[in-house]
Homo-oligomer: A and B are copies of this chain.
Amino acid sequence: MDQKQKIFERTPRARSRYTLEALGLLGRLIRLSRIEKRMTVQGVADRAGISRGLLQRIEKGDPRCEIGATFEAAAIVGVTLFESDINNLAVHSKRANDMLALLPKSVHAGTAVAHDDF
């Protein structure tokens, strides 16, 4: 006894208006594409390897979903972020990598700028 006590505290998540709007839109786009392609919730969920309930939450824009599950479902119904084809995506990916190689590896405070304008 008298073991080192660990405290686990999870601050209630505050989501910006933008985040909630973006997630809501993403969900509706998924739902839109799914219906346009005449796929059922269960069908898409099966293909994505997730449960029906989770897909329903995704389509409602619930912020507490694995991003992997959301992206997978989106891709299955044809909603692709960034660029629509994988080749372009790979190109962008490489460019981002190249840019990163040129930037400083760590950032020291001092000149940190505020950017709450979203």
Contact = CB atoms under 8 A, between A and B. Distances in A.
A118 B69 contact: no
Q: How many monomers of this protein are in the complex? A: 2
Contact of A107 (B19, B39, B90): B39
Nearest to A20: B68
A96 B49 contact: no
Contact of A22 (B15, B19, B40, B89): B89
Given A21-B90, A37-B112, 11 more contacts: A13-B49, A17-B86, A18-B75, A23-B67, A34-B107, A35-B104, A38-B112, A43-B112, A63-B68, A65-B66, A66-B66
28 contacts: A13-B66, A14-B49, A18-B75, A19-B72, A22-B80, A23-B68, A24-B93, A25-B82, A25-B89, A25-B92, A26-B81, A26-B82, A29-B96, A32-B96, A35-B100, A35-B103, A37-B113, A38-B107, A38-B112, A39-B107, A39-B113, A39-B115, A40-B112, A43-B109, A43-B112, A75-B118, A78-B115, A80-B118
